Amino acid sequence: MRKRIFSGAQPTGQLHIGNYLGALKNWVALQDEYESFYCIVNLHAITLPQDPATLRQKTRDLARIYLAAGIDPEKSTVFVQSDVAEHTELTWVLACVSRLGELERMTQFKDKGKGNRERSSSGLLMYPVLMAADILLYQTDLVPVGQDQKQHLELTRDLAERFNRDFGETFKIPEPFIPKAGANIKSLQDPAKKMSKSDENVAGSIFLLDDADTVTKKIKRAVTDSGTDIEFDETRPAITNLLTIFQLLTGKSNDECEQHFEGKGYGHFKTELAETVVEFLKPFQERMKEYDDAALDSILKAGAEKARSIAGETLADVYRKMGIA
């Protein structure tokens, strides 16, 4: 039996190159080796207020982005979270296994709730429990994600271990897959912050649907550090971030990148980086148009059916072990 992967992204805001380099690129690379499940997590999206029509549209757009990124529906299962009711059912069970204290300690709860506990939805508090349910339903071996999801993976493992201890062996304990390079792409405007869908300053993010002009302007305006060398250097996070994007899109090693730009200035580097990003985005955006509505519907329907068949088995086992069914 092939090992399993589960991962997902929220259909909120606009997907950026950080989401691609930190997650989607690896999903594509791993789909040949693993039995893969890639989910559009619309139930996570509603932990913050969403406009219904926009959410519906973005859910479909995100499915198209997965496919355009190279996820092959013949190899991988692509589906929408709300189409598989087992995700919410297992969330309730795991909510009863989780502790308020550990959920309140999650950094995403504090960040997204802007520290205002009184006004945060309880859904936001439950966010990582829903994520644990996503993963554990599929007896997942590996979860490819960016750095910001590491704490959620740790909670997922804790909940699985606790359940297994109390009710008997039920869940596989999943491992995170966080790439060495690209797991934490920074804002182009502030290398101390991650590139983020929810950043109000759009100049900090290269969106996957940005046109060539916008990309070029954003890269030209990207902040740089003091010094002139184009090198990977932890003490110069801005240039290191830009070089990381270049390196991951070209497939060159760190040394090759540094040699390539030896003796060249920032102007030259930024021009070449902008060209590289534009060259990557052009065919990507073309591929977004390849799937009409009917084709997309049928991929998502087949995906949900496959997902349901596996999720249903796990949930039945959970209920049996707990004396519910």
* Interface residues toward ligand TYM, by CB under 6 A: 6-10, 18-19, 22-23, 41, 44, 131, 134-135, 143, 145-146, 148-149, 183-185, 194-195
Name the minimum Å distance from CB 16 to ligand TYM: 7
In the complex with ligand TYM, which residue's Cβ is closer, 141 or 229? 141
Name the minimum Å distance from CB 194 to ligand TYM: 4
Name the minimum Å distance from CB 14 to ligand TYM: 11
In the complex with ligand TYM, which residue's Cβ is closer, 22 or 73? 22
In the complex with ligand TYM, which residue's Cβ is closer, 150 or 260? 150
Instruction: Judge whether 194 counts as a catalytic residue.
Output: yes
Instruction: Judge whether 112 counts as a catalytic residue.
Output: yes
First-to-last C-alpha distance (Å) of the chain:
29
- Give me the catalytic one of 25, 58, 186, 194: 194
Distance CA 211, CA 186 (A): 20
- Give me the catalytic one of 3, 110, 112, 172: 112
CA dihedral angle for residue 284, residue 286, residue 292, residue 293, rounded to 10 degrees: 50
Helices (H), 36-182: 42-45, 52-69, 86-97, 100-104, 107-112, 122-136, 150-167
Name the minimum Å distance from CB 26 to ligand TYM: 9
CB-CB contact of 140 with 6 (8 Å): yes
Helix (H) or strand (E) holding 7: strand 4-9
- Give me the catalytic one of 3, 197, 264, 306: 197
In the complex with ligand TYM, which residue's Cβ is closer, 78 or 185? 185
Instruction: Judge whether 197 counts as a catalytic residue.
Output: yes
Phi-psi region of 71 (alpha: psi -120 to 50; beta: other; left: phi over 0): beta
